[in-house]
Chain A
């Protein structure tokens, strides 16, 4: 790695202490490392994943971003993986580079409009999306308490085979056995403060949800109906007030909840197979919202 990158890395390290999350004025600078490794999920489960990590050392987590409209994301992407990747954000006018092992690319990205963008690897029909390589960039001027969920479904054998050998898959036969929220699941997800919804009665809470997996997810809320205030998909649902929202692969939504009562209420995938992990209930997409006075 060049010394230029080392200098940036130091800066990035400071920024990453804030989880790669805060926006610093108008320019957010960060470096993402494409790397692969074994993510331990606890309960003796582990997954071979490839991610946009925050450091050279694989930690199994994709770095997420939250920006304000008109912020600039000064982003370096370094490919430390053995396979070639082409990281890109679809819908953004930019020339995306193909990165061989050891290559890096520097992008100055401006996000004018509100929205949730997905950074993913476009090569081979997004093959590496089956191995976990996709993250989210949320652009929002909303000042409400926000929570961020990057939903994934993983077939553990496919993910290992792709991470190791980039072997093509038969998408029509896809059947995941793990279901993740921010590369975590129930109960580990409770420790992720960016995801765990905590608020008070009368608060305006925003949950940013992206489906970066390959299956459809149907997210059901207990306790409260939520209003859809943003969707990257079908705009017809804007303003709907529902307790269950389906998300197609690649779709992102923002849900607004104003709790009217205290309590601890589950949010979970209502495809109840997705509440399992490695064939065990209830180690999938299941968490709770904790609302106090």
Chain B
């Protein structure tokens, strides 16, 4: 009786997670400071009315199988907007193409409802006069995690220590002038004049040049562990991504699907709209960089290079948890594990084999001691129990008999 009560408490947050709602507010008068201090006008998505709509917009996170709702609220005094869920293969009604589904006008709400598909990396963007609205800044990354895990590429896929998203795009400041931005206000059914595209700023997650180190900092890789990089290109140029030398690189997925066979390459081309998932592993301590070339799709001319710093460390920052201790007992156990912790708040519990294959997981709200009843049918053996919190993670070896 007591155990069932605990299980019910444990399962409660799970039931809540299955329905996931996001609010995105579409704005027409954002501001963006470029690396040369030039300030441009942008369009974009924000989560609150007081927030400047960022370029890119917020990263949306869902779990496989969730019923998701995106509430798009247009507060722009201008153009209609939509959300196209790029790669999610939603039905026509929710596809976000104005003349085939619906568009959301000033001070209206539109609701996009969909069942969250395969784990992977996707994009979302406005599809109204898409050439202008995407350049304007109305785009972002959408990540789908497998059910119950933030450390697996997909069910039975690659286990990783942590993941990073790297989104590339460009800015042509002329397209952000009032005289061009006003063109985007026309209805989607009319022809809209588009200027020549002359990008001058080449972005990684919205930043370029010195801004990258300032705003994005170092990308940490834990020595001898997998780190998962998600690359997406939402710009209008081609990218070649060059990975750090002396690291083990596996290209494992693209466009939200595993590749049949992982590729070992030291670079990859990513064309507009494509995404790639890359497992990076390093067996030596080093500081290096991921370099991205931006080239003109018409004539292959190299337009620009940007890079992010990558540092391999012996211990992931995630593991340097202060002031948290956990006690796992009895050990060995019969599948009912008692855990005492000084941490309180939301935590993910994961159990996986020595080979890294996940066998059980649970999300709980910790407040003092609790019990975790493992699923039936987990064979006896040695497992790793991972206790993952917003402050970091702790691992314990457990024996099941």
Contacts and interface: CB of A to CB of B under 8 A. Distances in A.
A243 B299 contact: no
Interface string B87-115: 10101110101001000000000000000
A191 interface: no
Interface string A116-146: 0000000000000000000000000000000
Contacts of A225: 87, 89, 255-257
A218 interface: yes
B172 to A, nearest CB: 10
A218 B271 contact: yes
B191 A243 contact: no
Interface stretch (A78-86, A100-108, A261-269): A261-269
B130 interface: yes
A272 B237 CA distance: 10
Contacts of B263: 236
A264 B100 contact: yes
Given A220-B86, A242-B274, A270-B271, A263 B254 contact: no
Contacts of A224: 89
A261 B115 CA distance: 14
Interface of B: 84, 86-87, 89, 91-93, 95, 97, 100, 129-132, 134-135, 191-197, 236-238, 254-257, 259-260, 263, 269, 271-275, 297-301
A241 B298 contact: no
Q: Which 10 A-B pairs have the closest CB atoms?
A: A270-B273, A263-B92, A246-B271, A218-B271, A244-B273, A242-B255, A272-B131, A270-B272, A220-B273, A216-B297
Interface stretch (A4-12, A19-27, A168-176): A168-176
Interface in A249-293: 261-266, 269-273, 275-276, 279-283, 288
B100 A176 contact: no
B103 to A, nearest CB: 14
Contacts of B129: 281-282
A143 B275 CA distance: 32
A164 interface: no
Contact of B191 (A218, A244, A265, A280): A280
A160 interface: no
B379 to A, nearest CB: 33
A172 B299 contact: yes
A240 B258 CA distance: 8
Contact of B257 (A215, A242, A279): A242
Given A218-B274, A264-B92, 10 more contacts: A153-B298, A174-B299, A214-B298, A222-B97, A223-B92, A242-B255, A243-B255, A273-B131, A276-B131, A281-B194
A175 B193 contact: no
Contacts of B255: 225, 241-244
Contacts of A288: 100
Interface string A66-103: 00000000000000000000000000000000000000
A151 to B, nearest CB: 13
Instruction: From B298, B300, B301, name the one whose CB has the most chain A CB atoms within 10 angstroms.
Output: B298
Contacts of A272: 130-131, 134-135, 236, 272
A188 interface: no
Given A223-B95, A242-B254, A171 B299 contact: yes
Q: How large is the interface on A (under 10, 10 to 19, 20 to 34, 35 or more residues)?
A: 35 or more
A239 interface: yes
A84 B249 CA distance: 50
Interface string A195-233: 000000000000000000011111010111100000000
Contacts of B300: 216
B97 A281 contact: no
Instruction: From B86, B237, B257, B271, name the one whose CB has the most chain A CB atoms within 10 angstroms.
Output: B271
A273 B260 contact: no
B112 to A, nearest CB: 14
A281 B273 contact: no
8 contacts: A220-B86, A240-B257, A240-B260, A243-B256, A244-B272, A276-B194, A279-B195, A288-B100
Given A175-B299, A222-B95, A275 B130 contact: yes
B242 to A, nearest CB: 17
Interface string A173-192: 11110000000000000000
B191 A266 contact: no
Nearest to A175: B298
Given A225-B257, A236-B263, A174 B298 contact: yes
A223 B89 contact: yes
A242 B255 CA distance: 5
Nearest to B90: A223
Contacts of A1: none
B133 to A, nearest CB: 9
A18 interface: no
B272 A271 contact: yes
Contacts of A246: 238, 269, 271, 274
Contacts of A173: 299
Contacts of A280: 191-194
Nearest to A270: B273
Given A244-B255, A276-B194, A280-B194, A265 B95 contact: yes
A243 to B, nearest CB: 5
Instruction: From A217, A244, A262, name the one whose CB has the most chain B CB atoms within 10 angstroms.
Output: A244
